[in-house]
Amino acid sequence: MSSPSTAIKQRARELGFDLVGITTADPPPHLPAFQNWLARGDHGEMTYLERRAADRADLQRLLPGVKSVIVVGLNYHTGPAHGIACYAHGSRDYHDLLGDKLRQLAAFLTGLGGAAKWYVDTGPILERDLAQRAGIGFIGKHTNLISRALGNWFFLGEILTTLDLPPDRPEKEYCGTCTRCLTACPTRAIPAPYRLDARRCISYLTIELKGSIPVELRPLIGERIFGCDDCLEVCPWNRFAKQSPIREFQRRPLPPLTEFLAWDDTRFRDFFRVTPIYRLKRRGFLRNVCVALANRGDRAALPALERARQDAEPLVREHAAWACDRLQNNSERP
């Protein structure tokens, strides 16, 4: 008869998870570094990260009696991204897809006699710390998790459980002297190894930031309209990356950028409702589209941008006006 740990890992792989490891419920080792990151203000406007600080330090507050954490990884790689981060190209939000699988795995744990509570990057836990301690990857200099089996391209999920399971061996750090991710960042958002200034990160600027993108950073965003994978793509560990077989992660065709500017709220909701992009809402997405069109430098976009200057959303109007000015001014240069 197999041990509970073996049975849990087997069930996780049956559910489609590519990586699975087990760690203790001890406090995460990088908690002080996370607290210093917040104190410096590097998290920008993501004030939700400041809340429930005590929960991040003590998993007992999330699940009384917790003894172990099961950490899983799911490959989402579909090839190089173009304007939209690789994880967001699919037809379904990863929170929902991973949630379905974690719910089934949690039920399996309950059947073994333990209480269970699962998360998909929405709970007050330092999941990369737990993942490295569970042995499924290591935190790279870009602050993301790297797997020696999958490279940079996988989602994380966690289940807290009251089952007392033997922990796996923590993963070592294998970045060595490599600094490709630091030099690849267009906005220099990684000022030092293992430190991210989110306020300069293109993923933050195009997703988490709800208001105007700082004018001085707009040209550096390029044609990205949702996230950025530059620091991930250059990682040498991607030589082991594999194509994800999951249908919901595969890319679907997108219309030209100028067509997005003619979409109303209904059209935006209908197209993006079940994808990560939906969280941006129409105004945030069109804000990004305006910046991308300006950076593309194609004056053929001017008619669409001029119409966007009359949009009902002030945020869209502002960025459309900036884009028009940038295209017109660039065209007048010798």
**121 belongs to the catalytic site:** yes
- Token digits for 235? 């990682």
> Which of 204, 200, 192, 183 is closest to 85 using CA atoms?
204
Domain 4-161 has CATH 2.130.10: no
Separation of alpha carbons 99 and 158, rounded Å: 10
Taking only the tens place, the pLDDT of each residue in 225-255 is 999 999 999 999 999 999 999 999 998 889 9
Active-site residue among 18, 26, 96, 121? Answer: 121
Specify the pLDDT at position 252.
Answer: 87
Confidence of residue 334 (pLDDT cuts 50, 70, 90): very low
- Token digits for 63? 């699940």
Span 174-185, average pLDDT:
98
- Per-residue burial over 77-113, b if 16 or more Cβ lie within 10 Å, else e, is bbeebebbbbbbbbeebbeebbbebbeebbebbeeee
- Token digits for 212? 């105007």
Q: What does each C-alpha distance from 182 to 65, 142, 197, 253 come to in angstroms? A: 41, 7, 12, 31
DSSP-assigned letter for residue 65: T
**pLDDT surpassing 90 at residue 79:** no
Separation of alpha carbons 119 and 99, rounded Å: 8
- Collect all residues with Cβ–Cβ distance below 8 Å to 255 and sequence separation of at least 6: none
Provide, rounded to the nearest whole percent, the portion of the chain with pLDDT above 70. Answer: 99
Strands (E), 6-67: 19-24
What's the chain's average pLDDT?
A: 95
Q: Which sign does the torsion angle of CA 40, 185, 176, 139 carry? A: positive
Separation of alpha carbons 239 and 105, rounded Å: 30
Domain positions in the chain:
4-161, 187-227+253-327
Separation of alpha carbons 196 and 181, rounded Å: 11
Measured at the CA of 105, the angle between CA 102 and CA 109, to 5 degrees, comes to 130
- Token digits for 75? 């490959």
Sheet holding 68-75, edge to edge: 19-24, 68-75, 154-161, 116-119
**pLDDT surpassing 80 at residue 331:** no
> Which of 314, 303, 88, 297 is closest to 206 using CA atoms?
88
The percent helix, strand, coil of the chain (3-state, each to 5) is: 45, 10, 45
Q: Are 38 and 124 in contact (CB under 8 A)?
A: no
Maximum pairwise Cα distance, the chain? 78
What is residue 275's three-state secondary structure? coil
Taking only the tens place, the pLDDT of each residue in 260-294 is 999 999 999 999 998 999 999 999 999 999 999 99
- Token digits for 170? 């923590």
